[in-house]
Copies of this chain bind each other. A is one copy, B any other.
Amino acid sequence: MANIKEIARISGVSVTTVSRVLNNHPYVSDDKRNAVLNTIEQLNYRRNMNAVHLITGRTKSVAVIMPLIRIYYFSIIMEGLAQEALLAQYRLVLCQTNYRPEEELKVLEMLRNKEIDGVVIVSTSLKPEVIEEYTAYGPIVTCQNSGESRFSSVYIEHYAAFRHGLQYLADKGYRSIGYCDGRKHGSSSSIRQSAFRDFHRESGLPLHEEWMIFDCLNEEHGAALLHRLSAMEERPEAIIVAGDHVAAALMIEAGKQGIRIPEDLAVIGFDNQPIGKLLGLTTIDNKLFEMGAAAFQTIHEQIHGDGGSQPVHRKLDYELIERSSV
């Protein structure tokens, strides 16, 4: 396999000149440029990018940490990231961690080993202090509100969005509201829990502990959720569900059971998933695609900010989409 030295020898120029041609530098005469291009063509030569990575200290690639790619929430963020990465001609290394912290650490080590130029952490179970240690090796952006951390973040105000949903239900006259979420101790679900409790304390509406239901991750859990609600002696008039796919499953199951929505049970979801639109599910759109895109833009700016750039914290807007489930 040919290398730059051979191209230089055959073209009758120095390797420097070949390098200049490869990188479109000015100050190369037309005849030498053509000689080099001809040789490249003839030998079917391509640069060995690993050598470029070594000498430049850059790889034009960014790692993305997320637990499971098949989950709509994550796949749509990934799509936003991928769109921007394509524009910027960057590669995305998908690191699916299955919620295992040791795998997350391995990715951060990649940053240290110079395999990648930056890391986008979509969801993490690592402590902020641990992540902060790695900011010395390159830019890091999380998709969670990280407060005043030394790494950047691009985030939705889960607290405000959730309270907005609750207030919307209250304004519509619902006096008893249930809440359903995924993993109980996830970082954004903790925020939603606080929002739920704060809202009830401040509004004076009754809060039943049994109306807070966790571990609703998929469609089957959504269906089970409806049965659980049906079996309650006192059932809430409305429910706010983190994840449209779970809310949709609940609505479909409600249809089977003859429970009318919103008359018997009002439902509000999150993420504005396609299935929710079809079912007329009122939802809070977290603009996940935009979040992915913004996360990439941020990491891209930081990579080109020559290291001295300060962390940025970008808050993104959400939007309540009114349909017919409330």
A contact set with B: CB distance below 8 Å: 46-51, 53-54, 57, 59, 61, 63-64, 68-70, 72, 75-76, 78-79, 82-83, 86, 91-96, 98, 103, 109-110, 112-115, 218-220, 222-223, 245, 248-249, 252-253, 255, 274-275, 277-279
Contact = CB atoms under 8 A, between A and B. Distances in A.
A119 to B, nearest CB: 13
B109 A46 contact: yes
Contact of A86 (B61, B103, B245, B277): B103
Contact of A82 (B48, B94, B218, B245): B94
A47 B112 CA distance: 9
A116 to B, nearest CB: 9
Contacts of A248: 275
A288 B126 CA distance: 31
A304 to B, nearest CB: 19
In the A-B complex, the 8 residue pairs with the smallest Cβ-Cβ separation, listed nearest first, are A82-B96, A219-B274, A50-B53, A50-B54, A49-B113, A75-B75, A70-B75, A70-B79
B278 A223 contact: yes
25 contacts: A46-B112, A48-B113, A49-B115, A50-B50, A64-B94, A68-B79, A69-B75, A69-B82, A70-B78, A70-B79, A79-B96, A82-B94, A83-B96, A83-B98, A86-B96, A91-B95, A93-B93, A219-B274, A219-B275, A219-B278, A220-B274, A249-B278, A253-B278, A255-B255, A275-B275
Contacts of A112: 46
Given A46-B113, A92-B95, 16 more contacts: A46-B112, A49-B110, A50-B50, A54-B54, A64-B94, A69-B82, A70-B79, A82-B94, A83-B96, A91-B110, A91-B115, A94-B94, A219-B277, A219-B278, A220-B277, A245-B274
